[in-house]
Every structure is written in C-alpha cells, then in structure tokens.
Amino acid sequence: MAEAEVLHNIKFTRARGNTDVATPSTDEHIYSNISYSETQRPGSKQPAASNRRSGVTSERVALLVLSVLLAAAVTALGVTLYENTQTKKSLQKLEDVAKHISGILSGTEPCKVEQPCKPPLVRNETCPRCEDGWEPHGGKCYFFSSVKLTWNESRTQCKSMRGDLVVINSREEQRLLESKVREKMDNFEDMFWIGLTDSENEGEWLWVDDTRLDPSLTFWREGEPNNWNVENPDGQDCVRMGEKDGPKNLKTWFDRSCESPQKSICEKPEKP
C-alpha cells in the first residue's frame, strides 16, 4: 500500500495574563501543523507490517516443518544404515561358517579341537574323516563318480580308491543316496551303478561284500528286475539306481546290462 501524507491542525490554548486578576483571561490559540505519513500514524492500523509479520510467521512454520521432516529422514536413514550393517555382519558370519564347513569337508581345513564340528555333519562330536571329494554320512564316505564305465570298470575304479561299489544296508541309506543321486542326475537315464549283481546265478542277487540281498530291503522300480535281453543277449545282471523327476518313493533300482556305461557310487568307511 502507498504511503499517504496526512496534514493535521492541532490547536494549543494558553491563557493570557495573570491568573490572580479577576478579569477574564483571553485564551491564546496556537495552531501547529503536523504532518506524517499515514503509515506512521500513531495508533493507526499497519496492514503492511502485519502482512510482513504474517509472512515471517508462515516462513518460520514452513522452516520448522522442513526441519522436522529432515530430522525424520536423517533418523530413518540412520536406522536403515544400522540394519544394513547388522545384516552384512550376519551374512559375513554365515559365509565364514560355510567356508569353514566346506574346508573341513574337502579336507583343506583341519578340524579344530576348540571348535568341534557339530551334528548332523558328523557323529560323536568328531570331525568327518573322508578324503577330498568323498561325502560323509553315518560313518561312511561316498564318492559319486561322474565317469561312465561298465559295472566291472566302475568297481575297479572304486577299489583303486580303497573302496568298493556301494552296499545299501538300510532304508535310511537308500533315502540318502536317492536324494544325492537325484540332485546329480542330468536326465532320467543318467543313473549310477551300485554294488549289486546276479551275474553268478540269475535271480540270486549278491552285494559286492558277498552278502545276499535282503528281500525286505529292496528298492526295485515297478517292473524291475526284468533281465531284459533285447539290448544284450546275456540279459541284465547289474543294478543302477536313480530317479530324476519321478516319485520320491525310494524305488529307484533297475537291473541293467553290466556292459552299459554308467556313473557309479563308491563307498568306504571313514578314516580311523
């Protein structure tokens, strides 16, 4: 708002003469012109100043709100950074544990006395005693060979590593091997030799340790063994196992021509 100059006449009155005299006195009037800007008029409303104050107040409120928001953002950022740091620490610990376990299993890292290995990796609070490449379980070491050989060649390979083709003595052992083989198979035909054969007498199944197959502990696939002789006139006298995508009912044994190249499972006891 533009300033407006205002002119005001103000009258001052002064009594003339001696106040002790009874004659009436004559008042002397003095006028004075006083001018001032409307905006400076004492007691007048000052909308411009009020607007400025209002503007300043709004700016302060906005500043206060921004400060609160900034403080909240900084706090949230701090919490996020803290949580990220904790997560990274946890992941690092897990990674260290995984490396330690991997080192123990591969034999590159000795098992420390003050840090005994824990179940289910080992039994009796001791470290696994399998060589590099062998997988421990239940006091035994297993080697899953990816080289495809005849049944006899596979057995020779196992023996060269002071083991033999695997003998399955329990349902629990079959469950373990079925699970391991399922992971390692590339397709439904990609099976593994086990140490079971009827090459001596047809239908008389013997393990490589010369024990007879327990009829209550067999895991033949439906329709097996069938001694199918179209592929080989000698029939099928050796056993391979594996199921890639089929039912998980443990029934994964197939008799097969011993001359057919297959992968294989070797077994030997843990080191004393």
Compute the least distance from the CB of residue 228 to Ca ion, in Å: 5
Q: How are beta strands 192-197 and 262-269 bridged, if at all?
A: parallel
Compute the least distance from the CB of residue 230 to Ca ion, in Å: 11
| Angstrom distance (rounded) from CA 213 to CA 40 | 117
Q: Which tokens is 263 given? A: 């992968």
Compute the least distance from the CB of residue 135 to Ca ion, in Å: 27
Number of residues assigned to the chain? 272
Which residues contact Ca ion by CB under 5 A?
198, 224, 226-228, 235-237, 254-255
The Cβ of residue 33 has, within 10 Å, a number of other Cβ atoms equal to: 8
Specify the residue, 154 or 236, whose C-beta has the smaller distance to Ca ion: 236
Specify the residue, 243 or 270, whose C-beta has the smaller distance to Ca ion: 243
Specify the residue, 121 or 185, whose C-beta has the smaller distance to Ca ion: 185
Compute the least distance from the CB of residue 152 to Ca ion, in Å: 15
Specify the residue, 157 or 236, whose C-beta has the smaller distance to Ca ion: 236
Terminal alpha carbon distance of the chain? 103
Q: Which residues contact 50 (CB under 8 A, 6 or more apart)?
A: none
Phi first, then psi, for residue 146 (nearest 5°) are -95, 0
